[in-house]
A and B are shown apart, each in its own frame.
Chain A
Amino acid sequence: MEQVKITVALIIAVVLQWTLRNVFPPFAFVDFPLIIVVYAALQRNSIKAIFFGTIAGIAVDALSGGLLGANGFSKTLIAYVVSEIARRVYLDNLLLRIPVIAGACLLDDLVYYGMHKLLGQELVSPLFVTMSYTLIGTTIAGTIIVLFLDSFSSESLKRQKRDFFAPRRQTRRRNPIRLGKKS
């Protein structure tokens, strides 16, 4: 059920990325597929996350003037990095997820820009301005979308997450007074 939810979310994100800029140009600075890829990676299923990253990236690249595969490359890398971090650090708190989304956005832009430069391609938009706007837009939209998607989380997934980072068993302290007591 959770995978279906993320797949549907990813399809909607790609469609939004294809269409919203023509309706309202500032939406160019919100990377919807990246948000879903990060969300998928936060579920700690790294294989699905990197597949989602590749598919979403290539779907976005196909309708872009940039190199085919550049978004696929950056989003695959980010899916892996985020899922590895999520495997080691407890990131189910929303306040911890915000910097993850922001960091993923920055890394995505840098990798995308770097790959184009590496292959001798000039980008139309200036680096720092585009990165700043994308960072703001994607982080705000990402926080809202993650909250929205979390509200649909099934109980089984929540239990699975709890099990993944199970609290340490605490041994009951013995009463030192009772230790010396003879029965």
Chain B
Amino acid sequence: MAVERTQKEVWKLTPWLLIILLLGNFILMAYDARTQNKQRVIRVWTQAAAHFIQSPITSAGTAITGFFESVANLRSAQSENDILKQKVQELEVKVQESQELTQENKRLRKLLELKQQSDYEVKTAQIIGRDTSAWFDSAIIDLGSLDGVKLNMPIVVNGGLVGRVTAVSPLTAQIDLITRDKSGLGAVVGELGESNALGIVNGTSKKDTLEMKYVPGYMDVKKGETIYTTGQDGIYPPGLKLGEITEVRTGSATVPHQIFIQPSAKINSMQEVAVLIYTPPPRPKYEEALPNAVKDEEKVDSKADKK
């Protein structure tokens, strides 16, 4: 009888608990949606904890994948040359290690080339985790605030811009890709300083396509032209390559062009990225930017007059 009463109590308590938890989650969601440019404590510490799990598993996974790839390569080599078979098998582990190191070396060299070309300090990072949900495409890298990474710092690969940092823990950082719908950035068709075809680039529902909006319809824009960042968004530095135009839906004098871009960075297959340690120049304060704004000095003067 006592057990039955407890069960009834549990059944009565559950809906209330459900409402509280749902409400808590909803408040968390609403707060997160409202202030997306700030990072959450939960994210930061979960990422820091996850780093100790993600990093070794990613390394092991890469090693296993590399192992099977090398085995597959060995099989094809076997059919070509039976004599070398045994020697290759003996050296299998060493070959696998060297292949991995060679590939990594190539990728890092490419990044180093970019490092030499760039004006900013560049830190290379490895992707240790992908988005836990199938609905998004963010990634987690193995550099964090201890390495000097800060919120909104740009992420690039040799091909061009990839995204920006959206959350930083001491050991890791979460990056949001430019292909995401909400990731607007200032861009220009052609070289910066030579073209006036300015616009805003957003992600689309297609993962490998970006859309450029607000380019005036009277500007001459052609398929195949390169898009660069302008730096006017206050996040990304100017002159970073975004991609090439694949389609132009021509506008008119009053209707802007609709431009579709293929990102030059291979976003889906990237394993190493570079973080640009870049701080955008300070923007003029809102009050100072307005023509009729009251400046601080004037405020002080008016107070003195009243006295």
Contacts and interface: CB of A to CB of B under 8 A. Distances in A.
Given A28-B134, A123-B136, A134-B134, A18 B129 contact: yes
Give the secondary structure class of B's interface: helix
Interface string A40-56: 00000011001101100
A113 B135 CA distance: 9
Interface stretch (A19-27, A92-100, A148-156): A19-27
Nearest to A75: B25
B47 A62 contact: yes
A82 interface: no
A124 B180 contact: yes
A50 B26 contact: no
Contacts of B131: 21, 28, 63-65
B210 interface: no
A124 B30 contact: no
A15 B125 CA distance: 22
Contact of A18 (B15, B43, B132): B132
Contacts of B176: 65
B263 to A, nearest CB: 14
A19 B61 CA distance: 9
A66 B61 CA distance: 25
Interface string B168-181: 00000010100111
Interface string B136-165: 111010000000000000000000000000
A28 B130 contact: yes
B300 interface: no
B129 A19 contact: yes
Contact of B28 (A68, A112, A124, A125): A68
**Residue of B131, B174, B180 with most partner-chain A CB within 10 A:** B131
Contacts of A58: 25, 28, 42
Interface string B22-40: 1011111110110000001
Interface stretch (A2-10, A114-122, A139-147, A167-175): A114-122
B25 A73 contact: yes
A69 B129 CA distance: 20
Q: Would you call the interface of chain A mostly helix, strand, loop, or mixed?
A: helix
A60 interface: yes
B21 A54 contact: yes
Interface residues of B, number: 55
B215 interface: no
Given A58-B42, A68-B28, A63 B134 contact: no
Given A18-B54, A80-B18, A120-B33, A65 B137 contact: yes
Contact of A50 (B21, B27, B205): B21
A72 B136 contact: no
A144 B245 CA distance: 46
B203 interface: yes
A22 B128 contact: yes
Contacts of A115: 26, 29
A67 interface: yes
Contact of A68 (B10, B29, B57): B29
A66 B181 CA distance: 12
Nearest to B56: A19
A61 B28 CA distance: 11
A57 B46 CA distance: 12
B72 interface: no
Interface in B160-208: 166, 174, 176, 179-182, 203, 205, 207
B127 interface: yes
Given A54-B21, A65-B176, A69-B28, A112 B135 contact: yes
Given A69-B28, A125-B207, 13 more contacts: A21-B130, A22-B127, A23-B61, A23-B65, A64-B138, A65-B166, A65-B174, A68-B29, A69-B25, A113-B135, A121-B182, A123-B135, A124-B180
Task: In the A-B complex, list the 3 residue pairs whose CB atoms are closest, starting with the nearest.
Answer: A69-B28, A65-B138, A23-B61
Interface of A: 15, 17-19, 21-25, 28-29, 46-47, 50-51, 53-54, 57-73, 76-77, 80, 83, 87, 112-113, 115-116, 119-126, 130, 133-134
5 contacts: A17-B132, A19-B54, A54-B24, A62-B40, A65-B131
Interface of B: 10-11, 13-15, 17-18, 21-22, 24-30, 32-33, 40, 42-43, 46-47, 50, 53-54, 57-58, 61-62, 64-65, 127-138, 140, 166, 174, 176, 179-182, 203, 205, 207
